[in-house]
């Protein structure tokens, strides 16, 4: 019966399918980030599941894979965050003890005098001198805002706990479903793509490579850089808040601003305040060791076809953070690679631009018979392949070479 659809009925069915997908995205909008995060972890741990599934039933294999994911990801991250929290609590306690013994009046007056002397020297800026009354007013306003925030947090804490448990349960179900039925989901995506399964392979390959590059590559590289920077600070003489520095410097390396915006000024400050050897060590260690960690690890961890220009990567990460929160560190680059791949494909198909892909190798441009079907389809669509001066294959659209007159 379904094969007897008329062209108009098929067209109507296509429109209804698009509307159903859009409504589904709207219907699940509050869980899309959670589903995406589960899909990322399912993709990364799929090799472990497949290896286990070859030796045991799928239920036991998925359970062991879930335990592996928790052991590899959740436990180390939780341990580092817990240790950082303990160190922050110790720092707060030491500050509290200092406040109890220090003469805050003299300290405050000296601090205000220093700030006022600095403000007087700032050109083109006129600021009224600070007084203790103004400082008290500011502190009072901050305390009031903090109290309102605490009350709101306490009011929502009960609901927040229930929401966390619910999200965890949903995540587990989605993770296990994608882990055991990932191939079926891929087939559905290929069937829904109007450009065909070969083009779907291009996008899925790019998305998979970018996920691998961001999580297995960028996160690992950022953690190693953050750990190296924290170790250098510890050796340089600052022994407090080691794990806090690990987390902070790792996040800076992920987003990617680089841990150098903290370690290098910190090293200079240490040198200027008396710890000359320690400050120079922190500064030089970042230049010689931390910055080269990326150059050493990236070729081993990041796939070649996941390359994005550093400017695009930076924009993708910050745009992803603004749209998805912390998960945007992964989703931002994935969306950017989809955009870049679509633009490159359009230029290759319609404008005759060279399609650059890892399947290409030097010396085999004249014979593309050994290349994947999707490559030959893109290459020959609308015309026959030609070569530019650099030897790269280009596309002739509608029998015209690139740049030929209409």
Predicted pLDDT at 44:
85
Whether the link from the prior residue into 239 is cis, omega within 30° of 0, is no
CA torsion, ordered 99, 103, 107, 108, to nearest 10 deg = 80
Phi-psi region of 386 (alpha: psi -120 to 50; beta: other; left: phi over 0): beta
First to last CA, the chain: 47
- pTM for this one? 0.62
SS3 string of the chain? CHHHCCHHHHHHHHHHHHHHHHHHHHHCHHHHHHHHHHHHHHHHHHHHHHHHHCCCCHHHHHHHHHHHHHHHHHHHHHHHHHHHHHHHHHHHHHHHHHHHHCCHHHHHHHHHHHHHHHHHHCCCCCCCCCCHHHHHHHHHHHHHHHHHHHHHHHHHHHHHHHHHHHHHHHHHHHHHHHHHHHHHHHHHHHHHCCCCHHHHHHHHHHHHHHHHHHHHHHHHHHHHHHHHHHHHHHHHCCCCCHHHHHHHHHHHHHCCCCCHHHHHHHHHHHHHCCCHHHHHHHHHHHHHHHHHHHHHHHHHHCCHHHCCCHHHHHHHHHHHHHHHHHHHHHHHHHHHHHHHHHHHHHHHHHCCCCCCCCCCCCCCCCCCCCCCHHHHHHHHCCCCEEECCCCCEEECECCECCCCCC
Predicted pLDDT at 396:
38
Q: Which of 181, 204, 180 is nearest to 192 (CA)?
A: 204
CB 25 within 8 A of CB 32: yes
Predicted pLDDT at 147:
59
Consecutive sets of 10 residues in the chain, 406 residues long: mean pLDDT of each?
74 89 91 87 88 87 88 77 73 65 63 72 68 69 64 53 80 89 86 83 84 78 88 86 82 74 86 84 90 81 72 84 81 87 85 63 43 48 42 39 41
CA torsion, ordered 119, 123, 128, 130, to nearest 10 deg = -10
Q: Are strands 393-395 and 385-387 parallel, antiparallel or unpaired?
A: antiparallel
């Amino acid at each position: 019966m379904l094969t007897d659809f008329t062209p108009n009925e098929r067209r109507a069915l296509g429109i209804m399918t698009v509307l159903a997908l859009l409504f589904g995205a709207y219907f699940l909008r509050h869980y899309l980030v959670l589903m995406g995060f589960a899909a990322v972890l399912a993709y990364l741990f799929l090799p472990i599941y497949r290896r286990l599934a070859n030796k045991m039933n799928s239920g036991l294999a998925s359970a062991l894979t879930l335990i592996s994911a928790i052991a590899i990801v959740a436990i180390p991250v939780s341990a580092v965050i817990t240790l950082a929290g303990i160190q922050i609590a110790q720092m707060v306690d030491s500050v509290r003890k200092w406040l109890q013994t220090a003469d805050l009046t003299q300290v405050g007056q000296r601090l205000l005098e220093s700030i006022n002397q600095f403000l007087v020297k700032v050109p083109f800026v006129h600021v009224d001198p600070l007084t203790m009354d103004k400082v008290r007013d500011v502190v009072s306003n901050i305390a009031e805002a903090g109290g309102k925030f605490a009350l709101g947090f306490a009011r929502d804490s009960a609901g927040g706990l229930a929401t966390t448990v619910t999200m965890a349960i949903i995540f587990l179900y989605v993770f296990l479903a994608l882990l055991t039925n990932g191939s079926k989901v891929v087939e559905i995506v290929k069937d829904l793509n109007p450009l065909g399964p070969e083009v779907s392979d291009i996008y899925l390959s790019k998305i998979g490579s970018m996920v691998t590059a961001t999580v297995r590559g960028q996160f690992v590289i950022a953690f190693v850089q953050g750990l190296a920077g924290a170790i250098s600070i510890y050796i340089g003489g600052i022994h407090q808040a080691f794990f806090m520095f690990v987390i902070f410097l790792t996040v800076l390396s992920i987003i990617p601003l680089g841990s150098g915006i903290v370690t290098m000024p910190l090293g200079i400050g240490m040198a200027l305040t008396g710890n000359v050897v320690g400050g120079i060590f922190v500064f030089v260690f970042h230049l010689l060791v931390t910055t080269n960690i990326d150059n050493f690890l990236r070729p081993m961890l990041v796939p070649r076809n996941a390359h994005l220009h550093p400017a695009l990567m930076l924009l993708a990460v910050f745009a992803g953070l603004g749209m998805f929160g912390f998960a945007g560190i992964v989703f931002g680059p994935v969306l950017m690679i989809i955009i870049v791949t679509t633009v490159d494909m359009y230029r290759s198909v319609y404008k005759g631009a060279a399609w650059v892909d890892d399947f290409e190798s030097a010396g085999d441009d004249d014979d593309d018979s050994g290349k994947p079907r999707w490559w030959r389809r893109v290459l020959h669509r609308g015309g026959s392949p030609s070569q530019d001066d650099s030897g790269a294959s280009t596309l002739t659209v509608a029998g015209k070479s690139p740049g030929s007159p209409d």
